[in-house]
Structure 1
Amino acid sequence: MVKKSLHPSVEQFKNFVKKHPELIKEVRTGKKTWQEVYEEWYLLGEDDPKWAKYTKTGKPTAIKEETKSNNESKNAIFNQLITYLKNMDVNQLQHYLGQMSEAIDSVQQLLGQIRDTNQNKTEPEGNGEQWRRRHPFSFRKD
């Protein structure tokens, strides 16, 4: 059996991935593809500081940084919400809600009128008409 040899850059990339096991987890969770990782590795090289967070020793700092950025974004959203609530005019909000309620009532009345009109059109206008609707095909014996 003949063993196929890989391109030297592919061999180097495989060795690089073995040194950075967190990259494997990133790919398996779907955050990155092998193609993306390979292209970044090819362009940046092995010595780029980006790869430090993918080694086992770099893992805690990467998690801390990620958690810190998540907390900061949550705090920013919360602060924006508080600012919005402080600046909100309750009377204006109540006015808009009243207008929306009136619009919904108008639409409901319109739909009710349309439904009533359609029901009046479908009611039979006598016995002959009613019989034809129940029996669309007329079969007679000769």
Structure 2
Amino acid sequence: MSKSLHPEIKQFKSFVRNNPHVLRDVKNESKTLQDLFEEWKLFGEEDDIWDSYLETSENEDSNEKEAEKDKSDSTKDIDVLNMLKKMNLNDLQHHLGQFTTVIGSVQELIGQFKQQQPSQTQTPPPPERPSSFFGFRED
């Protein structure tokens, strides 16, 4: 013989499947499924009480994501330190010297273009206006 569940229990199970965030307090052992069932039966599915579970669950999720990000950032820092330990400082100095030479060459090239530009695009000075509106001098 198979016992079928009471229709309200089926509805509650469906509600929990659609809203897994309501199980937060059950996981924390501050409530039982029976407590949640009684609240669901008393307040119904549309009550604002369930929103508070959702907001808290979202905050916990964002806190967990931040913790994971911090952990990955610290792992990256350790990776960089390990890479620096393995690096040959003489090679690094050589490459930095080459980089400095390239930067100097680019700056020199830009300076040459800046010197050539004003002579090519020079606009003629504005015409001189007479000092008086009538164009004659006072004696």
Range class of TM-score, shorter chain: 0.3 to 0.5
TM-score by length of 1: 0.42
